[in-house]
Amino acid sequence: MDRSGPLEIVVPRSYLDLRELLSIPYLLEGEAVETEPGKWLLRLAYPELPRCTAEGFVVEDVLKELERRRIEIIVSLVEEGKQPPIPRRPLAASDPLWTVRDLGLSSRVAALLASTAK
């Protein structure tokens, strides 16, 4: 068995609602690149999610942008009837609705999450 790629836990999507999908922890990769003496560009990515990257000069702004993209990618995949990657089980102590509101994401995403509230 080849174990060189990421392990994906297969959980039927019918068992995971949007709140749970948004609570899945993804690996975070980051690098800093000096663009000029003393000025560093930060690049962050969730490599387990397609096209989920962000970059900038202020770490807090880059992290917020990365989270915004993570949520938008997962919601878009669900709306298209596709399953996002599920490399591990959702976190039990996670509140994606709070995160969506904190990031100022659309009321559409907040409404989708609120409708799945337990």
Query: Can you give the pLDDT at residue 86?
Result: 95
Domain assignment present for 86: yes
Output the domain CATH number for residue 68.
Answer: 3.30.160.250
For 29-86, what is each residue's pLDDT tens digit? 999 999 999 999 999 999 999 999 999 999 999 999 999 999 999 999 988 999 999 9
Instruction: Map residue 71 onto helix, strand or coil.
Output: helix
Q: Distance between CA 105 and CA 50 in Å, rounded?
A: 20
Domain hosting residue 62, numbered range:
17-114
Domain assignment present for 7: no
pLDDT above 70 covers a percentage of the chain that reads: 82
Domain assignment present for 5: no
pTM of the entire predicted model: 0.77
Of residues 26, 16, 25, 24, the one with CA closest to residue 118: 16
Name the packing angle between helices 59-79 and 107-114 (round to 10°).
60
Structural domain tally of the chain? 1
Domain assignment present for 87: yes
